[in-house]
């Protein structure tokens, strides 16, 4: 249709480089730094410098909306409170724990003999106590989604991973396929849903091969292939592909809860072994890293260690002419100092030499940005409205619907920072309203 066309486009994926070597475990860094921030909420610290810490012990609390505890990822001593670079691009306070390498567990970490008797409320309470939050990138507290009063028919596992370069979800599923189905099974029970769907991208046939034989033990769970386009991992797109329904605010309006695959796998451990959310898989990749690969690490691990394990930066890499990107290349953030720590929403670090400088023309007016926009905005008009500071017009142009997928800048032949302009327009709207 001329008015509202095309959802997403195919883009280069660059995933092969980090798929080649297997998932690497790096469980004992010398120090970990637990950042005192979750999403944009500052956390309340509950331990002091010098305290003895066990794995799984509560070290901080998120209060207010989405209140939940945050746990230690290694055992040892709190050695300092330090400022560290967080993947949000800010410096934040963090609890430095010196690892004693003994892996002493908190008493709460006990395997459950029988998980069949848990009620819905108990399952949701377990999410909360484990500090479970979305590992896909938004970091939204999982239990809040399951507390919905709306009836839920389907739980969808989003393993689409449409960002280029990233393979952390893919590698984790291939390593522990059964865990994913277990996690989804518990999610379905926590939502009172009969149907569970694992969505994956069409070229990831391996995911299908490892999951298909296991499905017999998990009634109600099915697989769903998603077209290889960007942004196929967008929640609204996934829900629309699986159920055919659309919604305005939350997926629950369409009777759906969507969770990232890594979150589901952590949840399997939460229910069966009472291990809280303390670790994740992160992809260290990019043309600027010698041996790109995926690491399974406790939260708070310095990324520097992982890059060293990957053989360091490639020879001749000039940091001043390279990007150090936290997150995927489409929505991630350039970090200026390579002193990042692993936290719940950090799926990847990409080191990528900058492309050569070219002279680019002014906006051609080709309209490609409008063509590709998955939420049917016209970015050029929003840019124009932003430049004249016309808040009323920005509102009419629905700038607030932009999810910063980055496609408009991606396709722009004139190399205009059009995504950034729409972002600024959104900020203006927030301030103006």
Partner 1 sequence: MARFANGKAPFLRTSDAKNSGTGVIMRDFMIGLLPVILFAWYKNGIKVFIEGNITFLEMLYPLIFILLGGVLSTLFEGLYFYITDKNVRNFKTLGQKLKVSYAVIPGLLLAMVVPMYTPIWVLMFGAFMGTIVGKMLFGGFGNNIFNPALLGYVAIGFTMLGVIGNAGGVFNASEVLIDAYGGATPLGTLAGTKVIDYDTLVAPYGSLWNFLLGTIPGALAETGSLAIIIAYIWLSIRKVIKWFTPLVYIGTVFILSWFIGMAAGDAGIWFPVYSILSGGLMFGAVFMATEPVTTPRNPLGKVVFALFLGVLTVLFRYIGNLPEGVGTAIIVMNIFTLPIDKMTAIIRAQGIKKSTIFSALGLAAFLLILMVYAIIKAGNVYSAFITFVPFIKGVF
- Pairing relationship of beta strands 91-99 and 31-35 according to DSSP bridges: antiparallel
Determine, following the binding rule CB under 8 A, whether residue 424 of this chain makes contact with partner 1. Answer: no
Q: Could you say which of 386, 406, 422, 429 contacts partner 1 (CB under 8 A)?
A: 406
Instruction: Find out whether 369 and 9 touch, Cβ atoms under 8 Å.
Output: no
For residue 336, give every residue at least 6 positions away whose Cβ sits within 8 Å of its Cβ, in sequence order, or none: 324
Instruction: Find out whether 55 and 106 touch, Cβ atoms under 8 Å.
Output: yes
Is the alpha carbon torsion for 272, 145, 178, 54 positive or negative? negative
- Least Å from the CB of residue 160 to partner 1: 17
Among the listed ranges 143-151, 232-240, 243-251, 355-363, the one in contact with partner 1 (CB under 8 A) is 355-363
Determine, following the binding rule CB under 8 A, whether residue 312 of this chain makes contact with partner 1. Answer: no
Structure tokens at 370: 């409008």
Q: Is 322 left (phi over 0), alpha (psi -120 to 50) or beta?
A: beta
Spell out a b/e string for 211-236, using b for 16 or more CB atoms within 10 Å of the CB, else e.
beeeeeebeebeeebbebbbbbbbbb
Cα 116 to Cα 97: distance, rounded to the nearest angstrom: 36
- Least Å from the CB of residue 262 to partner 1: 22
Determine, following the binding rule CB under 8 A, whether residue 315 of this chain makes contact with partner 1. Answer: no
> 47 vs 416, which CB is nearer to partner 1?
416
Determine, following the binding rule CB under 8 A, whether residue 331 of this chain makes contact with partner 1. Answer: yes
- Least Å from the CB of residue 378 to partner 1: 4
How many other C-beta atoms can be found within 10 angstroms of the C-beta atom of residue 131?
24
Q: Could you say which of 60, 239, 277, 377 contacts partner 1 (CB under 8 A)?
A: 377
Cα 321 to Cα 314: distance, rounded to the nearest angstrom: 13
- Least Å from the CB of residue 1 to partner 1: 9
DSSP of 244-271, one letter per residue?
Answer: S---SS-GGGGTEEEEEHHHHHHHHHHH
Q: Could you say which of 151, 396, 403, 427 contacts partner 1 (CB under 8 A)?
A: 396
DSSP of 95-115, one letter per residue?
Answer: EEEEE-SS-PBPTT----S--
Determine, following the binding rule CB under 8 A, whether residue 330 of this chain makes contact with partner 1. Answer: yes
Determine, following the binding rule CB under 8 A, whether residue 417 of this chain makes contact with partner 1. Answer: yes
Determine, following the binding rule CB under 8 A, whether residue 433 of this chain makes contact with partner 1. Answer: no
Determine, following the binding rule CB under 8 A, whether residue 360 of this chain makes contact with partner 1. Answer: yes
Determine, following the binding rule CB under 8 A, whether residue 339 of this chain makes contact with partner 1. Answer: yes
Site mask, partner 1, residues 152-181, x = CB under 8 A? ------------x-----------------
Site mask, partner 1, residues 56-75, x = CB under 8 A? --------------------
Determine, following the binding rule CB under 8 A, whether residue 389 of this chain makes contact with partner 1. Answer: no
Binding site for partner 1 (CB under 8 A): 2-5, 11-12, 164, 313, 319-325, 329-339, 350, 352, 354-356, 358-367, 370-371, 376-378, 380-382, 393, 396-398, 401, 404, 406-407, 409-415, 417, 419-420
């Amino acid at each position: 249709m001329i008015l509202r066309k095309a959802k997403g486009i195919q883009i280069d994926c660059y995933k092969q480089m980090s798929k080649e070597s297997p998932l690497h475990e790096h469980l004992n860094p010398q120090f970990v730094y637990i950042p005192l921030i979750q999403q944009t909420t500052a956390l309340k610290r509950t331990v002091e410098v010098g305290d003895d810490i066990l794995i799984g012990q509560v070290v901080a609390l998120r209060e207010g909306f989405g209140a939940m505890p945050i746990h230690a990822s290694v055992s040892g001593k709190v050695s300092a409170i330090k400022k560290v670079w967080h993947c949000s691009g800010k410096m934040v306070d963090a609890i430095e724990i010196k690892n004693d390498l003994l892996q002493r567990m908190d008493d709460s970490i006990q395997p459950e003999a029988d998980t069949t008797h848990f009620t819905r409320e108990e399952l949701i309470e377990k999410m909360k106590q484990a500090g479970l939050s979305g590992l896909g990138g938004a970091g939204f507290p999982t239990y809040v989604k399951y507390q919905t009063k709306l009836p839920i028919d389907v739980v969808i596992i989003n393993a689409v991973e449409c960002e280029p370069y990233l393979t952390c979800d893919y590698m984790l599923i291939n390593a522990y396929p059964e865990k994913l189905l277990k996690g989804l099974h518990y999610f379905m029970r926590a939502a009172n849903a009969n149907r569970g769907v694992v969505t994956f991208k069409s070229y990831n046939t391996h995911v299908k091969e490892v999951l298909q034989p296991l499905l017999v033990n998990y009634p109600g769970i099915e697989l769903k292939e998603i077209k290889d386009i960007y942004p196929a991992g967008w929640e609204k797109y996934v829900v629309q592909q699986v159920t055919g329904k659309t919604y305005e605010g939350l997926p629950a309006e369409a009777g759906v809860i969507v969770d990232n695959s890594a979150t589901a796998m952590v949840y399997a451990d939460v229910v069966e072994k009472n291990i809280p959310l303390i670790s994740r898989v992160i992809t260290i990749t990019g043309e600027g890293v010698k041996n790109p690969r995926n690491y399974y690490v406790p939260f708070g691990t310095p990324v520097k260690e992982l890059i060293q394990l990957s053989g360091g930066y490639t020879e001749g890499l000039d940091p001043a002419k390279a990007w150090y990107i936290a997150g995927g290349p489409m929505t991630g953030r350039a970090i200026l100092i390579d002193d990042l720590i692993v936290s719940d929403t950090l799926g990847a670090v990409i080191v990528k030499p900058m492309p050569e400088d070219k002279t680019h023309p002014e906006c051609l007016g080709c309209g490609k940005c409008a063509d590709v926009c998955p939420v049917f905005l016209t970015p050029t008009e929003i840019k124009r409205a932003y430049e004249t500071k016309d808040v009323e017009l920005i509102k009419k142009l629905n700038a607030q619907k932009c999810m910063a997928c980055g496609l408009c800048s991606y396709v722009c032949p004139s190399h205009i920072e059009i995504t950034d302009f729409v972002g600024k327009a959104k900020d203006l709207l927030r301030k103006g309203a």
